[in-house]
Structure 1
């Protein structure tokens, strides 16, 4: 079996040995690079484990085969490492950022985030990227020498702005952190952070198609009418006539991932050649995204997203359940704000005697860290009627 040749490290890759360091200085980790150490710390965090019981699109009542935040994250990691390897970037940093990108998500997917943001409107709002930073810098308490995970500057930067430079003013948690650490919010992030962001899009598109087909919200024939997907479906039918439905659906996902990754690699090489990058800071100062789809693929990907939004995320069945789930979050926030004795003892102690805005932020921390199951259990404990989300 042929083994693919290793791609040499490119000049604009992040380098762990040149990291801007950690807020609290630490000794070297021996045979692990600083970025490998970051990834390992995220994997061992409580917030990462809780992703196993947080909704991606379908709540856990719907069945065991649909994606959760954890399985989605692992798929993002696989795509990110593949792209980083092909481009000659630092795979460990790309992995760390893929692992961390959803740590701040509250229960019940984007419905939970929308409701929590509305609840926090008078107190600086709620943003899951900002909350991910808060998780890794404040809320994880595992180490005696510091709060959070004490990740490298490059990991903090990538968590905050993997989607690009931040507009002013930044979300509350990011603005608060900026008083301790300057993350160059005005610049583009590293190539590895951009890889993690695009890998999130790729994983979303492919696994949501798979879950939507499994939930019978649309059909393979309908997907075949979309750009890129039409070519993939036609190729499978030509190569494997008579293939069973389950294998057919899996092959769609497998081939789409390959198509999208190969396009990203080609387009990123093209942009890098045009920009003449000689360092990771050149990526930050480039004034545009380095990692991306080609024009044709970007347009096709937007069409796929629009289809999924219309046929899956806004499907009446999904909307009904998510509206009920959002009410669970709304009820919990209001109850905790009105009566801090409703909080578990360890959290009650952290909000006593706090000003209203800080108390609200701590309550948002508590709710954002809840799994779907825990949020429902809390609602059942505090209210007479709790939706079944079925």
Structure 2
């Protein structure tokens, strides 16, 4: 029995596992190949809704988590809930925290990313993050406690990317409700961004619309403000400016997990593995033989856009598209090994500009779809439809609609 092992059950990992399993079943090869999906959580996380968990006192964590077992119960996938501790590429072993090593013949690395603190002194120790359901609940609980204990509460989000924007906007609305309920409570919500604008690198129309929305909500935005250190309840900026806070959430960057950055494969300067056009990872040196064929996708790797010569953004649609490519190429390789075809018809990942949406508080969002930018209720409606479309791709219709409505 040969093993196709997928590390991580996020957007890309889950899609790759499901696609490969379906194709193997269609080829009647389940007696020769096993699909193994490994994740430390037993739930698939829909990350675009994490900010809702963090900012809505009535919101439970299950609004953005879906049990993995029901999602794959109709598919020939073995799910292993465990934490990957080491990847031994030369020998083809994946080592787990709680179980025996798993041999791999094909390996897909889709472990996502972790928070990047950029070596800023005190940042990790004195901030909250927004990467998991647990961290989102920590944010919610910290804000609840601050509202209950203080008369003047200062909430700061570090980073004016999409996560920082949606978090701060929704927090401002929560603060408004809290202030109405407690006339003695005064809450300030602010964002600190090192770049000259919010959402650096995005369409200027989106940037302008988001900036206007934040201003109308009453979210203070400090751009061109570089954080140099963080102490308990105080942020130090370049230029010796001090910002006090009661709750500080850092959303300012991501990086490849340490376990991946030390693998003997080609990487870009920041440590992300570089994938070629077929989403395969390459050995760091020509003389190094990698036992399993290894693919990477999503936040875990760096794919350089051949037109712009820049890394593509770490967004869910890209990870899903890459997963489709990986699944196709693995199956094509298997078909050659099993003498089903004479030559492999590999598929390349072709990056494109994906539609995106930036929630900005309540039923208001800004969406860019091709050349079109829409905002307000229509943008929010687009956000809801994107979520429904994704759920329909991983679960049956009625279950998807039920999950969407909860």
Give me the TM-score of the superposition, normalised by structure 2: 0.30
* Structure with the largest fraction of strand: 2
Give me the TM-score of the superposition, normalised by structure 1: 0.30
Higher relative contact order (CA 8 A, sep 6+): 1
* Structure with the largest fraction of helix: 1
